[in-house]
Amino acid sequence: MTSRLRSAASVAASVPITLFGLVLVTFLIGRVMPIDPVIAIVGDHAAPDVIAETRAELGLDEPLPMQFVIYVGKLLQGDLGRSVMTSHTVAHDIGQFFPATIELATVAIIIAMLIGVPLGVLAAVRQGSFTDRAIRVFCLAGHSVPIFLLAMLSLLIFYAKLGWAPGTGRIDVAFDGLIDPVTGFLTVDALIAGDWDAFRDAVAHLVQPAGVLAYFSMAYIARMTRAFMLDALAGEYVITARAKGLSSARVIWRHAFGNIAVRLITVLTLTYASLLEGAVVTETVFSWPGLGQYLTVSLLNADMNAVLGATLVVGMIYLALNLMADMLYRLLDPRVA
Amino acid sequence: MSTPAALRDWLITETPSSRRQAAWGRRYRLWCDFRRNPLAIGGLATVVLLIVLCLAAPLLATHDPGQQTLTNRLAAPSAEHWLGTDELGRDVYSRLLYGGRVTLGMVVAVVLLVAPLGLAVGCIAGYFGGLADRVLMRVTDVFLAFPRLILALAFVAAIKPGITSAIAAIALTAWPPYARLARAETMTVRNTDYIAAVRLTGASPWRIILRHVTPMCTQSLIVRVTLDMSSIILTAASLGFLGMGAQPPSPEWGTMIATARRFILTEWWVPLVPAIAIFVASLAFNLLGDGLRDVLDPKQR
């Protein structure tokens, strides 16, 4: 156990360096931009002394390394600057928009897991058969499809043609602002408020974007499950279990699957991180007021504080999830020494 | 060697008489393996077809891709306009052909930038080890720590939206996996006997890396590039879709969708046609890459 703890600790030790790199990259991106942040605030026609004053106020008259120190100092206090567009602090905005993205990504990964894992197991058990090939193509398609194609098709078919799903957004305007934001997750908040109609409406709005996002990650989950299962099914303990006369289902699910569960947790964690990326496009199509949409709207308005703040936060969460996947693998799987 | 049968015998001989014959014989056997996979052949055929269609765009296009006819906006597909017209009355079919040049051109540019860069970083880190390895891999980790699309978006926004910055941004986010791959391959060959033999003859480290290490990495690199093509296509298209890639009136596929997106519930074919083109291209590269991996890199299956 101690050696495993030590290997996990060595992974954790590399995090501060990567984190520093992350901050440095966002800082540098913010400094290469052609739009002068001072002009963006005071406007084109401001007097020269106003421009100089604002520049000093923002610390932009300092040399670059000094600016970086100031930037890091502010970051450590949770200060990501102010958004020109919303005129709130970026940290406040992110707190507002992020729960919507987490809600979307969490539902998506649950759907993806419930479909992807059984598909992967099935493909592995029937290796080489028609079923295996069909699943392989289905997954490759999920890997290849642009998320906006799925999103647009889904809107066209289920909303416009069939009328089964509600349109874009998180909830019907009728409920807008009526639900007390306790957790920021609309479905949970509606339940807390005991408003069943609002809950049903929020869930209905969630199904389409979450389903689209789920297909994208399901492909990867199914593919990895299949590979792990093939590996496990070839093990001698599986042959022994079969020779003892255990039922096929018991061998597959208890013996083989039990052995790959830890590695699957790693895959799920990594997939969850990649969902943050897919969410940017999905949120744009479905007008889902999450971090992805905040990012794209800020981009179009050249609101750099907001863009960099959101990029940095997403990068940190990505890093944390990757670290978590690595740690879980090292701590839980006894085969990793 | 004049008939196909004689050529085949020359290729599959057990006792090749020259280096060239052995190399071509190996390639032929790989092709025979590859040929047995119908999905991979389908992918290859589609990729070739797409490239031909884009190269022959001026011959195949029925209209000028930039020509606007505002009286004939958002027309349904017809004999005159095979895939209908867009919001400015431009012929979607012709724009699709020319747009393929932009989209696939961007992808090729990214790969040409990224593969040599990743290969160089990975080989140097893997061969020299020590401090060089630690510094280079730490840099790689930093870039891997960002989701690809989001870093590309921030980067493009900081410079200026357009094709060149989109290519630079995607390249910036795409190289780390190549470096990792090349490093791993280099570490496996670094301590082999043949490298030791080359070193004993007095070859410089750079010569060893260039002539003896990089060739060992190319096979897995080719597989990786083919599989990566689809994700580069998707990133490029997503940038265009979010208005941060090629700018209108460029017929880049993602940009075409961005400008026509608001018609999805009414004239749905206008945004869907380029989206399907992106899907086809991306799927074709994935099928091809999958087949190549089975042949070139069986342990990865």
Chain A residue whose CA is closest to B231: A144
Any CB–CB contact under 8 A between A101 and chain B?
no
The shortest C-alpha distance from B165 to chain A (Å) reads 12
Instruction: Check residue B77 and report its DSSP letter.
Output: P
- H helices of chain B, where? 4-12, 19-35, 38-55, 57-60, 92-128, 130-144, 148-158, 163-190, 193-200, 205-207, 214-241, 253-260, 269-296
* Domains parsed from chain B with CATH numbers: 37-60+84-300 (1.10.3720.10)
Q: Which CATH architecture has domain A93-300?
A: Orthogonal Bundle (1.10)
Q: Provide the residue-wise pLDDT of chain B in tens; the chain has 301 residues.
A: 567 888 888 888 888 888 888 888 888 888 888 888 888 899 999 999 999 999 988 888 788 887 777 777 777 787 777 777 888 878 888 899 999 999 999 999 999 999 999 999 999 998 888 888 888 888 888 888 778 888 888 888 888 888 898 999 999 888 988 998 888 888 888 888 888 888 889 888 888 888 888 888 888 888 888 888 888 999 999 998 888 888 888 888 988 888 888 888 888 888 899 999 999 999 999 999 888 888 887 655 4
The shortest C-alpha distance from B44 to chain A (Å) reads 15
Question: Which amino acid is residue B71, in one-letter code?
Answer: T
Any CB–CB contact under 8 A between A50 and chain B?
no
What gap in Å lies between CA B165 and CA B234, rounded to an integer? Answer: 16
Give the A window 136-155 contacts with B, CB below 8 Å.
137, 140-141, 143-149, 152-153, 155
Contact A226, A124 (CB under 8 A): yes
Chain A residue whose CA is closest to B142: A18
Q: In chain A, where are the structural domains located?
A: 93-300
Cross-strand pairs, B85: B91
0.95 cut: is pTM over it? Answer: no
Chain B hits for A155, CB-CB cut-off 8 Å, are 264-265
Look up residue B269 and give its two tokens.
Answer: 């074919």
Chain B residue whose CA is closest to A277: B147
Chain B residue whose CA is closest to A37: B158
- pLDDT digits 0-9 by tens, A273-298: 888 777 888 888 888 888 888 888 88
Q: Under an 8 A CB cutoff, do B145 and A322 touch?
A: yes
Chain B residue whose CA is closest to A34: B159
Contact A307, A37 (CB under 8 A): no
pLDDT at site B301: 43
Q: How many CB pairs under 8 A join A and B?
A: 144
The candidate with the shortest Cα–Cα distance to B150, out of A279, A75, A255, is: A279
Chain B hits for A302, CB-CB cut-off 8 Å, are 157
Q: Under an 8 A CB cutoff, do A307 and B287 touch?
A: no
Any CB–CB contact under 8 A between A7 and chain B?
no
Q: Most distant CA pair in chain A: distance in Å?
A: 88
- pLDDT digits 0-9 by tens, A140-192: 888 889 988 988 888 888 888 887 878 777 777 667 666 777 777 877 787 77
Q: Under an 8 A CB cutoff, do B138 and A33 touch?
A: no
- pLDDT digits 0-9 by tens, A243-269: 888 888 888 888 888 888 888 888 888
A60 pLDDT above the threshold of 80: no
